[in-house]
Amino acid sequence: MLLHVTHETRYEYSPAVETAQHLAHLKPLATASQRLVSHKLAIEPPPAQRSEVPDVYGNTRAFFALEATHDSLVVTAESVVETGAPQLAPGIARELPWEAVRERFRYRKDATFDPASEFVFPSPYVPRHDDFASYARASFAPERPTFDVAMDLTERMYRDFAYDADSTEINTPAAEALAQRKGVCQDFAHIMIACFRVMGLPARYVSGYLLTQPPPGQPRLVGADASHAWVSVYLPGEGDGPESTGGWADFDPTNGRQPGEDYVALAIGRDYSDVSPMRGVLHGGARHTLKVGVTVRPIEELRAQAEEAAQSQSQTPSQPTEKDLQ
């Protein structure tokens, strides 16, 4: 699919902000199943400084500084992304039992370092807690392949949890969302990641988007018209040597399925704290309001609308001139 994504972030400050520095993760990733066709980041008021650099996980971080007093800030990211259905990399040990995967990530002296090991440990939004282990165990049956464990946990969470935008805040602990069995996609992603890590397996957080309009004949997915979040689970490659390259498989517990071509991956990290779309340090602006709007549409829909608008304009009778009236 060829998808057009618009992500607008609008701040209104009171009193005005004197100076500010911001960091944004708003440029979609380039992956094996996703190609970034174009990207534009518009900032109003225009910043005095701006730059882009990759972070440790391969995400693009946009930095910008505002040095003039301002009472509002509007950041609009506009991207065109070509997406395909994610495919597991060749050589993935899909049938490897989860216990064997856990053993690969136990500390052993002189063992070959696997970068995925960074995603086994607790992180700011994903602490280690016995409640996660208690919930996870029903999916982690003995000798069950890791892929099947992840799919079972995804489907269980979809059945057990209610999507409720008013039940949690951005800083609600994952253990609290687990206890009340409701939350938003961020909460569900953190809970699923915590379940894997407490069992000794790597899992990471993915931020991104869902197609606004559902495909024909399919129901609307939860999370449309807003940023979305899901989970990547690591699957090792065959063998134990450094040539044994593993890969990541994505799962969406909010919607009880694996992401497909109707998803756009924006950034990856240990949890939300690594990939928040916007953050900043302000001088002034004690109070603020925030509005975020996300629209994801097939590019063909935009082209059809543009053609329709052009045709409508060409059919509109022109206003008579003074000469025509004489």
How long is the chain? 326
Q: Which residues of the chain have a pLDDT value below 70?
A: 215, 219-224, 239-244, 305, 314-326
CB atoms within 10 A of CB 173: 15
Note the maximum CA span of the chain: 97
pLDDT of residue 114: 85
Q: What would you report as the CA-atom Rg of the chain, rounded to the nearest whole angstrom?
A: 23
Contact between 236 and 104 under an 8 Å Cβ cutoff? The reply is: yes
pLDDT of residue 325: 40
pLDDT digits (tens, 9 = 90+) for 140-196: 999 999 999 999 999 999 999 999 989 999 889 999 999 999 999 999 999 999 999
**b/e per residue 74-88 (b: at least 16 CB within 10 A):** ebbbbbbbebeebee
Full-model pTM: 0.89
pLDDT of residue 268: 98
Dig out the tokens for 143 from the structure. Answer: 């000798």
For every residue of 237-267, DSSP letters joined together read: BSSSSTT---EEEEEBTTTTB---TTEEEEE
pLDDT of residue 242: 47
| Helix extents (H) in the chain | 98-104, 130-136, 146-160, 174-180, 185-198, 272-275, 299-315, 322-325
Q: How far apart are the first and last CA of the chain?
A: 55
pLDDT of residue 224: 58
Helix axes 185-198, 146-160, angle to 10 degrees: 140
pLDDT of residue 218: 73
pLDDT digits (tens, 9 = 90+) for 3-31: 999 999 999 999 999 999 999 999 999 99
Q: What's the rounded Cα separation, in Å, for the pair 208 and 3?
A: 13
| Integer CA distances (angstroms), 68 to 29, 50, 60, in order | 32, 14, 26
pLDDT of residue 320: 53
pLDDT of residue 326: 44
